[in-house]
Structures are given as C-alpha cells and as structure tokens.
Amino acid sequence: MHITNLISQYFGKFAKKEFPSFFQKFINNTYVKIFKIDMSEFRNAKYYKSLTDLFTRELAIPREINEDENSFISPSDSFITQSGSLHKETLFQIKGMEYSVEDLLTYYCTDTFPMVKDGKYMNFYLAPSDYHRYHAPIDCEIKKLIHVPGKLYPVNLKYLNKELDLFVQNERVILECFSDNKIFYMVFVGALNVGQMVFDFEPSVETNTNAKDIKVIKYDDLKVKKGQTLGYFKMGSTVVMVWEKDSVELEELLNQKVKYGQKIGTLK
C-alpha cells in the first residue's frame, strides 16, 4: 500500500470519529473558519456529528438548476482547472501536463475509444471548502461502473503541475454514460485524505481499501435524472468529464468557479 493510502485511511478514521459535542463543535467551527466555508445553504456547523458528516453535508436549501433538457450542468461545486478538446487521444490535467484518455479510462472501455477521440473534456477540482456531493449532469443512462484502485496523491494545483499522469496513478471510479445515444464519461478521482468515494446507486463499491484488482459492474437499466445525487467525496477531490466527438458545445469556464446546477455545456 502506498503511503498516500495509509495517510488517507488514518485521516478517515479521525474524520468519522464523533467526539463529545463541545469538542466536535470546536473542530467543526475551526474547520469552517480556516477554509472560509459559506454555510448559508447548509445547517449550522454545530449540528454535524463528525468532520465526515460536515464534509458530506447535504444542501439544506434546494439548489436551482438549469432545466434545459439539452444542457449539461456542473456535477459539483468546483474550480475548472482545465477544459477543451482532446488532441486525438490526449488531454491535459493542467496546461503542459498531458496524458492519455485510454490510460484514464482503462482497457475496459476499448470499444468506445474511437468515439471520444478528438472529443471534449473538463476537469472539476473540489477544494476542501466545497460542497462535496456530486450529481447527474443531464438525464442519462449509466451503462458501466469501473473501479480502479491506485494511489491517493493530492490533486491541488501544486501537484497537478509536478506529478506526471496524476489522474491515471490515483484511485478512481469511472461511469460510462449515454444521453441521446451520445456517450460521455464521468471520472471521479480520489485524492489525499479522501477517505472514500461513495455512490448511492452502488453500495458495493469500496474505495481506499487494500483492493488491487479493477472491478467492473455493468447495468441494464440504470437511468438517472439531471440533478439526481450520485454520491459524494469524503473530502475534496476531482471529477473529469470526457465527451464523444461533436456531441457537446462547452461553455468558456477555464479557471472559473462553478456551482452544481450551473450550465457547463449544450448537447448537440
């Protein structure tokens, strides 16, 4: 097991521990203050029983989302670190740091590689202060889930600029999705101190364990609606979305903050 996995497991144990209420309130308020978290859409920090409970908080005030049926919305509150067109089969984790979409999606997606070649992609970085739940970006059908064990390097800008193939090295969960017969992928990338990535529709997936083998789950009729909660990160991390060639027109959002529910692109 890599040192990043061990660190993350120990942090996960601390984060999910429920301390006496007076001490937990101090921990929660300190975390909110250090990371300058806007809690206006959530319950008061004192009501969360652990740091994990605070990390994975649900919205207390429903979020308005873009309802246009052909619009993709941001799956999460995040910062767009990279966005654009694949150059044949390569994309960027950050400017100047390219990697292969085949390495990202693994050989279990071999049949669809020609479809995403020269397609579009967008990287969503979730900071520790962000809302950590992720949602369906459009009405779609999930055909396949692929869990790839790996390391848990940090995914902040510092590491994106220095660690080659970071998204390929790190543990990740890949969702193969179809909307209007057009394929797109959502890749949920683990990171340092991300105790787990949780998927509401697939409780059998366990991340940040001692697993070594890739796990593939196929679905016959798993349809989700735009805005539906898919799951959550237990701490900040990254989502990478990859679209089929000529299937989407993306908004110009590079180096901008986006909110879950905000339009990020239009299905062609």
Q: Write the pLDDT tens digit of every residue in 97-137.
A: 688 899 899 988 989 999 999 999 999 999 889 999 999 99
- pLDDT for position 137: 98
Residues 34 and 102 in one domain: no
* 144 shares a domain with 111: yes
Given this model, what pLDDT does residue 184 score?
A: 97
Q: Which of 74, 76, 179, 237 is catalytic?
A: 237
Would you say residue 61 lies in a domain? no
In the predicted model, residues of the chain with pLDDT beneath 70 are: 1-12, 94-97, 154, 156-159, 162-164, 193-195, 236
Residue 9: predicted pLDDT: 63
Range of the domain at 13: 1-54
Backbone torsion region of residue 111, taken as left when φ is above 0, otherwise alpha when ψ lies between -120 and 50, otherwise beta: alpha
Q: Which amino acid is at 192?
A: L
- Regarding whether 223 and 114 lie in a shared domain, the answer is yes
In a shared domain, residues 155 and 31: no
* Residue 118 among the catalytic residues: no
Q: Which of 71, 135, 147, 179 is catalytic?
A: 135
- Whether 127 is covered by a domain: the verdict is yes
pLDDT of the residue at 92: 78
Check if 135 is active-site: yes
- Extract the tokens encoding 130: 């962000």
Could you tell me if 83 and 113 lie in one domain? yes
Compute the residue count for the chain: 268
203 within some domain: yes
Q: What is the pLDDT of residue 21?
A: 93
Provide the phi-psi class of 91: left if phi over 0, else alpha when psi is between -120 and 50, else beta. Answer: beta
Record the pTM: 0.89
* Residue 109 CA to its chain's centroid (Å): 19
Tally of domains within the chain: 2
Active-site position among 71, 76, 77, 78 = 77
145 and 49 in a common domain: no
Asked if 93 contacts 131 with a C-beta cutoff of 8 angstroms, the reply is: no
- Whether residue 253 sits in one domain with residue 137: yes
C-alpha–C-alpha distance, residues 177 and 166, integer Å: 23
pLDDT at 207: 80
CA distances from 2 to 31, 155, 163, 210 (A): 27, 16, 15, 10
**Residue 46's pLDDT is what?**
93
Strands 133-135 vs 197-199: parallel, antiparallel or unpaired:
unpaired
Tens of pLDDT, residues 30-55: 999 999 999 999 999 999 999 889 98
**Within a domain: 158:** yes
The rounded distance, in Å, linking the Cα atoms of 112 and 116 is 7
Q: H or E segment at 52?
A: helix 51-55
- What's the pLDDT at 159? 58
- Is residue 132 among the annotated active site residues? no
